[in-house]
Every structure is written in structure tokens, then in C-alpha cells.
Amino acid sequence: MKQKLVVIGAGMASGRVLEHLTDAAPDAFDITLFNAEPRGNYNRIMLSPVLAGDQTYEEIVTHDDAWYAERGITCRFGEKVVKIDRDLKVVEGENGHVPYDKLIFGTGSNPFMIPMPGHDLDGVIAYRDLEDTEQMMGMGAGNKVVVIGGGLLGLEAAAGMAARGADVTVVHIMGHLMERQLDPAAGYLLKKSLEEKGITVLLNAKSTEIAGKDGKARALLLEDGTELPCDLLVMAVGIRPNTALAQETGLAVGRGIHVDDQMITSDADIYAVGECVEHQGEVFGLVAPLYDQAKVLAQTLLGEDAAFKQRSLSTKLKVTGCDLFSAGDFAEGETREDIVFRDPARGVYKRLVLEGDKLVGAVMYGDTADSNWFFGLIRDAEDVSEMRETLIFGPAYQGGATADPLSAVAALPPEAEICGCNGVCKSEITAAIADGATDLGAIRATTKASASCGTCTGLVEQLLQVTLGDDFQMPTAQPICGCCDLTHEDVRRLIKSQELKSQEAVWQELGWKTLNGCHVCRPAVNYYLLADWPVEYQDDPQSRFVNERKHANIQKDGTFSVVPRMWGGITNPAELRAIADAAEKYDVPTVKVTGGQRIDLLGVKGADLPYIWSDLNKAGLVSGHAYSKGLRTVKTCVGTDHCRFGTQDSTGLGIKLEKLLWGSWTPHKLKLAVSGCPRNCAEATCKDIGLVCVDSGFQISIGGAAGMDVKETELLVQVPTEEEAIEVVMAVTQAYREGGKYLDRLYKWMAKVGLDWIRETVVDDLDNRRALAERFELSQSIYRKDPWAEQAKEAPRFAPMADLTLEAAE
Amino acid sequence: MSWIDIGHIDDIPLRGARVVKTPVGCVALFRTAKDEVFAASDTCPHKGGPLSEGIVHGQSVTCPLHNWVFDLNSGQAQGADEGQIATYSVQLDGDRILLDSTSLGQRSAA
């Protein structure tokens, strides 16, 4: 004898149960189907295309009358179930009773309406069923619509009505759209594409009231006082499982109707399926788990063993023509790393979230072709370390263990962005290669690609290799010189981590192949040691280039130039007199004013150096370090002292800075300037560190140069006080000293670490800023002294050791 | 051979050099890290740079003007550069540096 099965609700989940049941055992049940809506099962997901006019209702019907008739299902559509008598096992409909042996709740969910004033006005609807859809389809040009809710449904509704010509505003309470499925970057792209369709998107917007007129909604009021006029207001803020009938029936109900793994409710003959259920504390809104439940329920009814298991979920959606995908957990975390791919031209954004060797989350926008593959990797917790380099390019580039990153680069479309810092796409680089830029330096010079943070250097090199083939030699990490196998960066790191405090320790521990280096590596190592261990390590003049050993610049004829220091470019008659006297006494052929506001005495004989220094010392003049990879000059303008435009005492600050920084060694020369106002007469914006005084304080910018490369500084920070300006300058100098590669000017170091990193760690991190300034001061306690005074004591060393010309003449 | 006492080895800085004026021009005396002493012309054949101001490494010196590197044993330029500097006989007697004057006097004797 057939069992009597009654189903309440003709939705997608219960519809799927009926399909399974009637396919597997057509004659097992005598089925009655109640539905409050006056129609059978249709694909609710496809309401959006109906709204947009892409499909008709007829096209989205899953089960038509013929289908129910074929399967012998008694349909009671448009009839609400009033009551269930569990003792008698009878369902009481509006039009009569139906007895049951088994009963299925497929009552679905109700849209959640925010209970704000005016929510019950006419013209306030949800987006749930065909009736809602039809109301929205009535909106067109000249109509204003407000949609509350920036989730999937709200956006679908907004896009559909916008496509029909309505003026649509989306009001979303969160900071970005679809915050449960998308990260902020993808949310941003989505917002942009909606705005391109003419939709206004208001984020962080809290609705407070719906204003009405004659019982009809007139406008939405926001907390900030904004009033958004509307002819129709769509509330799409979420759904709630529809449990009212179940509750009245006395079933166990939480957020949804409680079911076990077999979809059985607290009554053994009553089942529930779909959006109305709660399983292990979870409720469900996406179609995939609902279909799983339907399958399990059908099997349970047929006496088969089956159990519903919750699976990790991915969301793959198409919103308004934009492909979206998200899966897993894509929140940021300390132990997590991101791989991000952006192609602004195509509006593509992909982000993979890795934790250890596993892919744990993914967000994609614009191109979701590979989403299933990524979802598989997340679901199966696969080890992705082997393919990490090409992971983001998808499965097409995973040739087993020997993934070739070159094929991935070759496959990139011409408009794919290679260098994010400078916005350089692949085709620009390949064009530059075709025009003769055949190495990294030339690419940087012609396109700027990889010329900023440098993280795309690998991609650019691969592109060179792909384009030029064997004509391009992929560079390996360059060792300092032939004496060792290590790069500058390696050596710096190892000197710190292994606490190597002498040259011998470096040669030994780092496997130098020569006895004591060469003219290339030894000055670098000497610098690294004295910068990292200012107290422990003794500077070695014999490891310095002649200028720094002689504290004067060697000229092409072997003579030297002598530049006394003039603090901030300020001098006085006594100093000038001493300089004039010295120039006469030592037959200095050329006296020149330098660009750094100093006086240069050129053509001094080597043996005379200690004597001219001694004379200059007596007048209070010290070495100007015009020869050093260290602080050179602090150029100033006259600031508030004399200038009618000056905003601060730029001269005074320049002198203070010079007195603090002089004598310090840096990876390459370090030039500063302080201008008293934005007219910038001291040319501060082409210095390694430039300060421009403004009324409200001091703008500190860094990374300028006016040499082989001409660079304008970039603003690091503006600070209100002179004290803070000085601390920032000291901290930046120390960070450059500790991190820079020998012979890299500050702008090169900045290009490697990034201005943002410098700002974060050196400026904004106050503890670190102070620590850097303190380390600088510690080093300066040793190096802030006049080398001329010391060298002058060693005068005999500057003379020939012996003169054999006299003896030979005898 | 006629050895002339030029001075104490510590008159030359370790891994450094000093100049001696001679009838054949300036001669540089180099002291290596291992206290070996070499004597060679102070003048780089390239642009006349003062080799005594160069960085001494191993048994070589690098010219301060354009980084030519010379082997102090042979006087031969190293690497891609071609050239040679004259070398002279020098020896250590304890701490004293002795230079062979005959090798220096050749030009004036001729």
C-alpha cells in the first residue's frame, strides 16, 4: 500500500526531493504538495534575469503542470496550510484536510524587514518572489528606487532596475559591498562597475526611517540626515528561516527547524529540507547544500542509509555581468600570506590566501574561470608549495612538479599589468624590448617597470627571456665581487645575524676566497662593520678609497682638493681670511665656490695636506667631508633671518642638523638642504633628505638626487616641531645606514624598501624611530669628530719615506 | 746588489704604502697584511695615478684613479687591462726595509 506523503512548500529544495523520489520509486508514495504561492516550483535564483528582462518567468519554471501530473502529484497551490495535527497525522489546508504518513516541511525563508518606522508603507518590498519581481519590473526611466542592502540580492535588484532605466541608489551599512563574500579590493571593483552602470552606491550608510505620504513610501532617511526620494524601496537585507508553522506544530525550532543528519525533525515522521532548517547550528541560503539535503531526504524516505554533511562552501556568482568567486577563509592574519594578481584594464582581481603550504581562501573578481580548481585545493587542503610561483595563473600552468613560470608570463595578455607601482603593462614592456631595451636597466629607463619597489623584477626578467629567448641571459644574484659568493644583502644580513665584528671574522665565516678582499669588497665590508658595530669595530683607513683615507679628494694629477666645513653654508670674515691665507701659503691654483655652499681649494699637494689642515684648524675650520660617503653638506637659505617669505629658521635648523650629522658614514654620499619656504631656494627637493619649512611645520622629503640620475624627493612626513624634524632626519639616516647597500644613494635604497615601508617603520612607529635615532647618536659619539685634526698629527706619513735622489747625485 | 736602509716596517701602514723618491721617479713601498714588502713604480701606466694611494689587497694594489689592479710580484696588470709597472728588489732585515739601489740607479748610471 502506498504511503501518504505531504509536502509543504514548492521550493527548490522540496522540488529536488520530489525529483529524486519519483525517479527512484515512482509508486512508493501518494504525494500532495501545498504551496502558498499560486504556482509550482521555479528557479528563484533566476529571478534576476527575469527582472533584467533577459528571461521570462516561463523559462525559469522548473516543474510545470505537466510534470506534476506525470508523477501523480496532487497540487494545492495558492492554498496555505492552517494547522497540523500530529496525533491524527493530518494537515489542515484552507480548503480541506489531508492525512499523511510522512510530512515534509519545505517552508523556506522569509525576507527580513528592518522594523524601522515606515517599513509597512506601500511601496516597501522585499526581493523574494515573482510578485516582488513584477513590482520592480514596473520601474523604469523617471522612477527613483532605493535598495537597502549591498548583498547579492540587493545588487541584483539594483542592477535589474537600473537596466530598465530607473534611477537606483544602493544603501549599504558596511564599508564594502558583499562583505561576506568579498574582500575590500573586490568590493571596490564591484562598486566601480555598478557605478559605471549609473547606480549610486552609498557605503557605511545607516537607514533610520522611511518617510511616507498618503500611506506610500516617499523617501529613505539616513542617519547623517540625507534624504533619498524614492518611488519604490526594496529591502534586501537578508532572510530568516520560515518556522512559524513548525513552531505552532510543536517541533523543535531554533533559528530554523532542527533536523538531524537524515533531515528528520523532532517528530520521527516529519522531515524538513531547505532554507527552513537548522542543522548543527547552521542555516543555509545557498543552493548547493540545499540540493545535498534534498538528496539525503529522498534516500531517507526510501529507507536507504544517507547522512547530510556540511561542506566548506564557495560562492560563485554573477552580479550584473561581473563574475565573482569567493571560497574559504580570506581574512587577513599574521600567519597568512596573500598572492594578488590585478589587471586593471580587464577589471580582474584575484587574491589567494595561503597559510603555510595550504591554500585557505580565494577571492576572484572579473575572471573566475579557474575557481573550481582553486576551490578544490582549498577543500582538499592540498600542499601548494610546489606550484606557488604560478599558482595564481591557474591549473593551465601547473605542469606537474616542473611548473615553468615562463609559460605563465608568456600566456599573460598584453594588457596585463606587470609593474603595479608605475602602472606598466606587458605590451609596453614588449614594445620597449622590440625598440632595443634588452636588459633590466634599459627596461627600467624606458618604461619605469620594476624601477620602484622592484618586486616585479622577476616578471620583467622573465618577459625579457620569453621575448628575447637565448639572447637574454637571466641574471643570477650578483655576488659583491670575485672574492666571495655572497651578495651585498647577504653579507649585511650575516654580519648582523652572526655578529661578525671584524674583517677577519667576515673573511673566515663567510668563506672569502681571497686573503683580505679587494678594492671592491673591502670598502663595503669596512662600511658594513662600522655601521653595524660602531663601538666594537675600528674603522680601517686602509680599506678605504684614497679620498676617505686622505680626507681630501684626489684630482687627476694626483693633487688634492680641500674643502673646509661651513655649517649650513654660513661663514664669517675671520674664516674667509684664514682660507685666503691658506690658499696663498700653499700655492693653491684654484679657489672655487661649490654647489653645496662651500669653498673648494683645488690643487693642494699631498704632502702639504696636514699643514694646510692644521692652519685651517687654527681658525676653527674643520673637514667638510666633501670626499666622503657620509654627510656632505646641509644647504640652507636665509629663512626668517632676512627673507620676507621665510616661515621658519631654516638656517638655524640646517646648522643644527649639520652639527648632529657631520662625520657620519653612510652607504653613499648624503646631502641635505633646508629651505625656509616652499619657494625652496636651498633646492631641498633634489637632496637625499630635503626639508621645506611651511607655516605649520616642516615637510621632510627624501630620495632626491641631482647626479647621474636626477630625482625629485618624495614627501615622507610633515612634522610640527623642529625637534621632531631632527629626530626623523636622524632616524631616516640611521635606517639608510643600517639597510642600504654600499654605494647605493638613498633613493636607490628607498626604491628597494619602498617609501611606505620607511614611513611605517621609521616615522610612524615612534618606538622604532627613537631607537634608530639613539643608535645613530651612539655611532656619532665615536664618529662626530674632525679627521683633519687627527691626521695633522701624523704629518710625517704624508711625506716621502726617503729621498734617494740626493744620495744618487752624490 | 747594493742595499739601502729605507726605514722601519712600521713606517708603512699595514696594507698600505709609502713613497720613496728615487732617480727613476717615485717608487712605492707596499706592505701587505702578512708583512711582506714590495717595491714598484708609484705611477700607473694608464693615467699616471699614484699607486701608493691605492688599496692593497693580497699581493696586489688597485690604482685609485681607475681601478687598474697590479700584481706586486710581476708588476703585471690584472684582468682585462694591459700594462706593467716596474718592480724593484726589496728585502726585510728584521724590521728594516732594504731597497736595492743598483736596480734604481740604472737609468742615471746609463
Contact in structure between A16 and A291 (CB atoms under 8 Å): yes
Tell me the chain B residues in contact with residue A542 when contact means C-beta distances shorter than 8 Å. Answer: 13-16, 55-56
Q: Does B21 touch chain A (CB under 8 A)?
A: yes
Residue A810 lies in a domain: no
Same domain for A146 and A200? yes
Residue A809 lies in a domain: no
> Chain B closest CA to A525's CA: distance in Å?
13
Residue B108 lies in a domain: no
**3-class state of residue A265 by DSSP:** coil
Interface test with B, best of A547, A801, A807 (most B CBs within 10 A): A801
- Name the residue of chain B whose CA is nearest to A519's CA: B55
Alpha-carbon distance values, B27 to A211, B18, B22, B51, B103 (Å)? 100, 8, 7, 9, 12
Predicted pLDDT at B108: 40
Same domain for A776 and A636? yes
Count of structural domains, chain A: 7
- Which domain does A465 fall in, by range? 417-471
> Chain B closest CA to A541's CA: distance in Å?
9
- Which domain does B51 fall in, by range? 3-103
Same domain for A106 and A117? no
Predicted pLDDT at A199: 93
Residues 6+ apart with CB under 8 A from A725: A653, A691, A697, A698, A700, A719
Here the cell at position A483 is: 672574492
CA–CA distance, A546 with A557 (Å, rounded to integer): 14
Tell me the chain A residues in contact with residue B49 when contact means C-beta distances shorter than 8 Å. Answer: 558
pLDDT in tens, A681-706: 999 999 999 999 999 999 999 999 99
Same domain for A772 and A653? yes
Q: Which of A414-428, A430-444, A688-702 has the lowest mean pLDDT?
A: A414-428
Tell me the chain B residues in contact with residue A549 when contact means C-beta distances shorter than 8 Å. Answer: 53
Closest CA to A185 of A321, A327, A319, A330: A330
CA–CA distance, A424 with A506 (Å, rounded to integer): 41
A-B interface: how many C-beta pairs under 8 angstroms? 97
Q: Does B25 touch chain A (CB under 8 A)?
A: no
Same domain for A569 and A433? no
Residue A625 lies in a domain: no
Whether the per-residue pLDDT at B105 is higher than 80: the answer is no
Residue A626 lies in a domain: no
CB contact under 8 A, B20 and A800: yes
Tell me the chain B residues in contact with residue A808 when contact means C-beta distances shorter than 8 Å. Answer: 22-23, 101, 104-105, 108
Q: Does B49 touch chain A (CB under 8 A)?
A: yes
CB contact under 8 A, B62 and A558: no
Interface test with A, best of B4, B14, B15, B68 (most A CBs within 10 A): B15
Burial of B66 (0-12, 13-18, 19+ CB in 10 A): exposed
Same domain for A647 and A663? yes
Here the cell at position A626 is: 666633501
Here the cell at position A234 is: 526594496
First to last CA, chain B: 17
Q: Which of A218-227, A741-750, B79-88 has the lowest mean pLDDT?
A: B79-88
The CATH number for A346's domain is 3.30.390.30
The CATH number for B40's domain is 2.102.10.10
Residue B74 lies in a domain: yes
Residue B50 lies in a domain: yes
Long-range pairs for A377-383: beta carbons < 8 A, 24 or more residues apart: A378/A312, A378/A314, A378/A327, A378/A328, A379/A311, A379/A312, A382/A358, A383/A357, A383/A358
pLDDT in tens, B38-75: 999 999 998 899 999 999 999 999 999 888 999 999 99
**3-class state of residue A97 by DSSP:** strand
- Of the candidates A568, A585, A618, which is a domain's last residue? A618
Q: What is the mean pLDDT of residues A628-633?
A: 96
Residue A481 lies in a domain: no
Helix A152-163 and helix A130-137, axial crossing angle in degrees, nearest 10: 40
Nearest CB neighbour to A808, from listed B15, B48, B108: B108
- Of the candidates A618, A647, A678, which is a domain's last residue? A618
Tell me the chain A residues in contact with residue B19 when contact means C-beta distances shorter than 8 Å. Answer: 800-801
Beta strands in A223-280 (DSSP E): 227-229, 232-235, 239-241, 257-258, 270-272, 277-278
Same domain for A639 and A777? yes
Same domain for A340 and A462? no
- Name the residue of chain A whose CA is nearest to B47's CA: A556
Q: What is the mean pLDDT of residues A71-75?
A: 93
Residue B109 lies in a domain: no
Predicted pLDDT at A321: 67
Same domain for A343 and A460? no
ipTM of the complex: 0.89
Same domain for A712 and A680? yes
Alpha-carbon distance values, A620 to A564, A600, A663, A702, B102 (Å)? 10, 17, 16, 32, 49
Confidence band for A380, pLDDT divided at 50, 70 and 90: confident
Whether the per-residue pLDDT at A398 is higher than 70: the answer is no
Nearest CB neighbour to A805, from listed B21, B33, B50: B21
Count of structural domains, chain B: 1
Tell me the chain B residues in contact with residue A515 when contact means C-beta distances shorter than 8 Å. Answer: 33-34, 57-58
CA angle A66, A70, A76 (to 5 degrees): 70
Residue A408 lies in a domain: no
Sheet holding B3-8, edge to edge: B3-8, B96-100, B90-93
Contact in structure between A133 and A219 (CB atoms under 8 Å): no
Nearest CB neighbour to A801, from listed B7, B56, B67: B7
CA A511 remoteness from chain centre: 39
CB contact under 8 A, A546 and B64: yes
Predicted pLDDT at A715: 95
Which amino acid is located at A161 in the chain? M
Same domain for A349 and A422? no
Residue A449 lies in a domain: yes
Contact in structure between A704 and A711 (CB atoms under 8 Å): yes
Contact in structure between A220 and A148 (CB atoms under 8 Å): yes
